[in-house]
Structure 1
Amino acid sequence: MRENGPKRSVTGVLVKVLVHRRDDRGMVLEPFASRCVRRGEVHELVTTDHDETAAGSRIDRVGFLGFLEVTAAGVIDRGDVLHVEGRPVGTVLGFDGCHLPNHYNILVATPAPRTGPELGLLPEQRIVFRQPDRY
């Protein structure tokens, strides 16, 4: 059964760059394939080379990109493509809620965990979560 239709992109601005990585982080994938985000919320961007999407999957190998402030509310879905300043970075793997209600960790699948400086990230860069071209 087809569940998802077209949607607008979720946009944001990078507010803090993170520089570290971990191989033992122990994040846990939430059982949700999507999360609604509101304008003004701040969430963390985390890269990983894990590819499991089952609820409860443990995510250990991570690189931290930074925090974004949402500028246009919407729905972020597993499989959306994260862009920074128009460059694709990876696809949304899922969400970890260990810091709720403060923020979500938005897990982004990349070939290898990457940090903010490795991608040349800077505060105020434009962030976009874009639905893959399916329509």
Structure 2
Amino acid sequence: MNPGEDGAKRIVRGRLVKVLTHRRHDRGMTLEGFTSRCVRRGEVHELVTTDHTETAAGARIDRVGFLGFVEIGCGGVIDRGDEVWAGGRRVGTVLGFDACHVPNHYNILVSVPEPLTGPGLGLAPEAEVRFAQGEPS
């Protein structure tokens, strides 16, 4: 663990419960102003990749690839900049959150060079997902 602005934290772990296969170029998600979100064990959230880099609150996120839904295995905090690992591979870093489906789930936006899908990463149900503190900026 690397101590960040607010100190060290645990790795948030989970398991993929559904693999998603599609991409969109006109999704219209909106980046929340929050740089972190607390998650509880048992919650299910959606992992969405994007090549957008804007981090201002309200930024529109159109180009996306959907990885899947992850069930959180332990409570914790997911922060912008956390490394996202799925199926043993580093996918990217947390860009932020879109709340269009809250209270059902958050879209956790993952910054990548090019939007990816679950099958593109060879993901399958039960694949381990981790959110680990990244290098402090």
Task: Give the TM-score taking structure 2 as reference length.
Answer: 0.94
Q: Are 1:41 and 2:43 an aligned pair?
A: yes
How far the C-alpha of 1:132 sits from its partner, in A, is 1.3
Pick the aligned partner of 2:12 from 10, 13, 23.
10
Among 121, 125, 134, the alignment partner of 1:123 is 125
Aligned length: 133
User: Which amino acid in 2 is paired with 1:20?
Assistant: H
- Partner deviation per Cα, 1:3-51 (whole Å, 9 max, x = no partner): 4210001000000000000000000000100000000000000000000
Q: Which residue in the other structure is 2:93 paired with?
A: 91
Mapping 1:65-80, distance limit 5 Å: 65-80=67-82
Paired residue for 1:26? 28
Q: What CA distance in whole angstroms lies between the structure 2 residues aligned with 1:131 and 1:122?
A: 24
Return the alpha-carbon distance in structure 1 between the equivalents of residues 52 and 70 of structure 2: 22
CA distance in structure 2 between the partners assigned to 1:105 and 1:8 by the alignment: 21
Q: Report the Cα distance in structure 2 between the residues aligned to 1:125 and 1:83, rounded to whole angstroms.
A: 10
SS in 2 for 1:65: strand
Shift of 1:93: 0.1
TM-score by length of structure 1 reads 0.96
* One-letter amino acid of the counterpart of residue 59, structure 2: S
Cα drift, residue 86 of structure 1: 2.7
Note the residue ranges of structure 1 that are not aligned, 5 or more in a row.
none
2:62 pairs, out of 38, 41, 60, with 60
Name the Cα RMSD after superposition.
Answer: 1.0
